[in-house]
Amino acid sequence: MSSKRLIFNFTESELIVFLEENGFPKYMYKQLIKWIYTKYELNPYKFSDISKVNREKLKEIFSFQLPKIVKISIDPEDETKKYLLKVGKHEIETVLIKEKDHYTQCISTQVGCPLRCKFCITGTMGLKRNLSAGEIVGQVMAVIKESDIKPRNLVYMGMGEPLLNYENVMRSIEIYTNRKGLDFAFRKITISTIGILDKLKGLIKKFPKVTIAISLNQIPEEREDLMPAEKKYPILKILKYFEENKYFRPTFEYVLIKNINSSEKHAHKLLRLLEKIRCKINLIPYNENKIFPYESVSEEELNKFINILYKGPNAITVRRSKGKNIQAACGQLAGEKDAE
């Protein structure tokens, strides 16, 4: 096994210390970050403003290996691109979504997911392992290198529950937002979570401008049937926290599944539940698939649901998932072998 250190794992401050400890000049971290994250050059022999001796040494100490692209699937309808990537012996997926005037990339944080939400294909895999910060950052770098497209938005909504891989996710945010490097805007990064309160508080404290999306998906009294993690991480605690901390405006995501969580009763309860919280509500009609028997709602049911929520104070959006034809839509990521 290689003892080289994966360069994408380092935050700026870690890199400064590590370079110094290994006898490199102090200023070199700036050159390194510039080559890797602004020129996307991963061959140290091409770092022309670094001495030949140091270039050799960099090659010896660091690995510049990105997750290997195994397969790319493109949805002919909306040009969504799904990448199957190899990380060690596992496979993960990341999705590049074309919007009107920019791109959004959906990234994974774990191989599989331990939370087993009943409507999610990733959940059927269980947890294989956490991704390192470098593997999280490597997903964006691999896509930039392949497509020459730098997404504007990053959404942590791929495989896994980000807050169960807290340390690595936090480090990846630090690396993504480094002004000298990839320079993503904090508010263009969305962390989607089922709601793990202590970790959520830590995330908000360290990165108050990051966007938070809570996967709500069901009223509290029925949520455990759909999301077993409700038992351990009750949503009422999350709602109370946001009720008391109004300076923060999260998004609540609600996947609408016919006959499960889409009745008028559900809409009225949801309205009451969220009316004291400053938030956005994002409704996502369920993506039907071959694995689960769930059905999506009709347009009529969707409109009824929205009209009830409109009585409340919060903004409501409907997200129609892209990449349906290539199993790249929400809750459909599972790695090639598991998805087919």
275 and 312 in contact (C-beta within 8 Å)?
A: yes
Q: Which of 115, 142, 219, 281 binds ligand SF4 (CB under 6 A)?
A: 115
Contact status: 226 vs ligand SF4 (CB under 6 A): no
* 264 assigned to active site: no
- State which of residues 59, 86, 90, 116 lies at the interface with ligand SF4 (CB under 6 A): 116
Q: How far is the CB of 142 from ligand SF4 (least distance, A)?
A: 21
* Catalytic member of 106, 120, 279, 330: 330
- Judge contact between 95 and 158, C-beta under 8 A: yes
> What angle do helix axes 166-176 and 197-206 make, rounded to 10 degrees?
20
Of 91, 93, 230, 301, which residue is the catalytic one? 93
SS3 assignment, position 246? coil
Which of these ranges, 4-12, 47-55, 82-90, 118-126, lies near ligand SF4 under the rule CB under 6 A? 118-126
Interaction of residue 203 with ligand SF4, rule CB under 6 A: no
Q: Write down the H helix ranges in 128-230.
A: 133-147, 166-176, 197-206, 220-226
Give Cβ neighbours of residue 312 (< 8 Å, ≥ 6 apart).
271, 274, 275
The span from the CA of 149 to the CA of 141, in Å, is: 10
161 binds ligand SF4, rule: CB under 6 A: yes
Q: Specify whether 279 is catalytic.
A: no
By the rule CB under 6 A, 122 interacts with ligand SF4: yes
Decide if residue 113 touches ligand SF4 (CB under 6 A).
yes
Binding status of residue 335 toward ligand SF4 by CB under 6 A: no
d(CA 26, CA 21): 10
- Site residues for ligand SF4, window 176-195 (CB under 6 A)? 194
Query: Contact with ligand SF4 (CB under 6 A): which of 44, 67, 123, 151?
Result: 123
Residues 199, 315: Cα–Cα separation, whole Å: 26
Query: Which of 87-95, 116-124, 128-136, 145-153 is the region at the interface with ligand SF4 (rule: CB under 6 A)?
Result: 116-124
Query: Based on CB atoms, which residue is closest to ligand SF4, 120 or 216?
Result: 120
CA 165 vs. chain centroid, Å, equals 11
Which helix (H) or strand (E) is 244 found in, with range? helix 235-244
Residue number, 116 or 152, with CB nearest to ligand SF4: 116
Report the distance separating Cα 88 and Cα 128, nearest Å: 12
Span of 79-87, 119-127, 277-285, 319-327 interacting with ligand SF4 by CB under 6 A: 119-127
Give residues in contact with ligand SF4 (CB under 6 A): 113, 115-117, 120, 122-123, 159-161, 194, 331
